[in-house]
Amino acid sequence: MVKQNKFDKLGWFYLIALSCIALSIIVSQFFIQSYIDKQQDDSRIVNVAGRQRMLSQKISKIVLQVKNQHDPEQLKRHLSDLEATLDLWVDSHLGLLSGNEGMGLTGDNSDKVIEMFREIEPHYGAIVGSTREIINVIQSSDSLPDNILEPHIKNILLHEGPFLEGMDNIVFQYDREAQAKVARLSKVEIILLIVSLTIILVELVFIFRPIARNVRQTVAELVASEEKSIKMASEMSRVYEELVKSYQELEAVNLKPDVPSLYATMDKQGTFNFFSPIFKRLLEYDDTPDEIKSLLLNNGYSKSFVAGLLSIVNEGQTWSGEIKLMNGSGDFCWLELYIIPARYQKSFEHKLIARDITEIKEARVRSWEINREKIEARVREQQYRSVLILEGQEEERQRLGREIHDGIGQMLTALKLSLESITPSSSKHTKKRLEDTRDLMKSILKEVRRISFNLTPSSLSDFGIVPAVKKFCQEVDRLSAPEVTFENKTSFVNRLDQHIENNLYRIIQEAVNNAIKYASAKSIRVSFEHDTKSLKIVIEDDGKGFDYEKLKNSGHFKNSGHGIFNMKERTAFINGNFELFSKHGNGTRIVIKLPLD
């Protein structure tokens, strides 16, 4: 709950910081778009102002051509050209002063420009007046008397120079004002860039660093939990060893055994010559058996066992052992029996020296059952705890993977988009720093996605073991040097229990990672194959391999924390069969068989 509150608090901080970045981007875009519009207006104004100089010179040129022109057709063409040029010149002049929507002129001039227009206004008015007089004279007369236009032409030429000089000054002033706007925009852009980078830095220090610290802590807890499960698995092995010790302790059951005594005698052929009263009371038979052969066969001993015993007797050798007999009441009794050859007068006979060990045997069996139940209960408890720990690890991996993907991953993605949306200034150093930061952010985002995928692939819970393993092989093949391929030979599509799929995925993940880290393999292949009863999974590589039998016999894989130890334990948890084949220079092949019924 505390961690969740921390993540919520950091999330609110992140939203605030992200909103500040978004606001700075919006403001920056507003200034940039506004500048672009004004820059277009300024360029159009400078263009029209520069054209005014050309039009005034064109007017002077036309009136000089009209001066001595007597051809009516040529005069008519000059007149039309002069009228059009004058109209455009006047419209442009008024547009620069007061605005003209058709020409795209706003008329928004500075006080300096307005003052400069006032200075050239007399020259402009004189040129316009003289030009209109010339047009009126030409239109009102079919033929032009000599020197009738001379005063107007001189007036135009007189004012043309001052007008051109004044327009030059106006054009330069427009240009200076446009450059000043660019400089102001550049300063604003640098300020906004500094603000954005400062916000990003604050996010990294006060948001992502605490998140990273919490993630490291969670991963450390996950690792500690996994180590605990491995220790528990090791404790299970010790429990099995205690079982063997308990069997040895049962041998020391505190019962006082009977004293051996003579139970019977028999000849070499196994025929009884004497049957003691102790033996008769123990067996409780109505009829005393005639020979040892029938006694043993009637109590379930095999013919080969009886023949071997009689062979030892015929050779005059001693035999000893424990035999199990059923008495007349149907109860079992155990005898510790010694068959000893002895000379009697001129012949040999065999004495059966025995003692009743039935109570000792029953006490051992009772103790064995009691201890076996206790040990099996402890084993089941350890297995149950191990399964709970493994399931807890998977849940923790899923939670951590979701937090990394949905939380940190989304934040890093938004941060990457924020960096990409920042318009760099003209400084090469700033551009280089931004490019480096963007590349670093892409690398971090890629690594976060890889870690999130390794912790808990969403395809495992959504679609099952086959799509998850296929996706895993594709990702590893894309990110690692060895070629990793997946083959579903029998098109296995069944869904298994969640804990089985989780353990299978971790086993395959461990095997592939081991092949990449230690085997120096060039090719790794994972294959699925199944029938109605079982699923067979094979992970094989063409790496350098190792002497598996030698390491296995030396107890190397019994060490907790070893990858193969973990794979074997996980396979045992899901009732599967684990086999590993490897030799130096021949690669490694791991086969996992899982019952499907």
Chain segment 417-433, per-residue pLDDT in tens: 656 666 555 556 666 76
Q: Which CATH superfamily is domain 457-595 in?
A: Histidine kinase-like ATPase, C-terminal domain (3.30.565.10)
Fold of 2-208: Four Helix Bundle (Hemerythrin (Met), subunit A) (1.20.120)
Beta-sheet strand order (sheet of 319-326): 272-275, 261-266, 347-356, 332-344, 319-326
Cα 229 to Cα 235: distance, rounded to the nearest angstrom: 10
Cα 354 to Cα 360: distance, rounded to the nearest angstrom: 14
Cα 214 to Cα 436: distance, rounded to the nearest angstrom: 27
**Where are the domain boundaries for CATH 3.30.450.20 in the chain?**
261-356
C-alpha closest to that of 494 among 446, 529, 546, 519: 529
Q: Which amino acid is at 425?
A: S
Q: Which residues pair with 342 in a beta bridge?
A: 349
Provide CATH code, domain 261-356.
3.30.450.20
492 phi/psi in degrees, rounded to 5: -70, 125
Which tokens go with 50?
């520069």
**Where are the domain boundaries for CATH 3.30.565.10 in the chain?**
457-595
CA angle 572, 576, 579 (to 5 degrees): 90
Q: What is the DSSP string of 84-98?
A: HHHHHHHHHHHHHHH
Q: What is the DSSP string of 432-450?
A: HHHHHHHHHHHHHHHHHHH
Separation of CA 50 from chain center: 62
Q: What number of other Cβ atoms are within 10 A of residue 103's Cβ?
A: 16
Q: Which amino acid is at 176?
A: R
- Looking at residue 405, its pLDDT comes to 54
b/e per residue 150-176 (b: at least 16 CB within 10 A)? eebbebbeebbeebbebbeebbebbbe
Cα 203 to Cα 275: distance, rounded to the nearest angstrom: 100
**Where are the domain boundaries for CATH 1.20.120 in the chain?**
2-208
Q: Which residue positions in the chain have pLDDT lower than 70?
A: 1-11, 13-15, 17-18, 21, 24, 28, 31-40, 69, 142-146, 207-208, 211, 215, 226, 229-230, 232-257, 344-346, 367-431, 433-434, 436, 440-458, 553-562
C-alpha closest to that of 28 among 38, 20, 16: 20
- Looking at residue 144, its pLDDT comes to 60
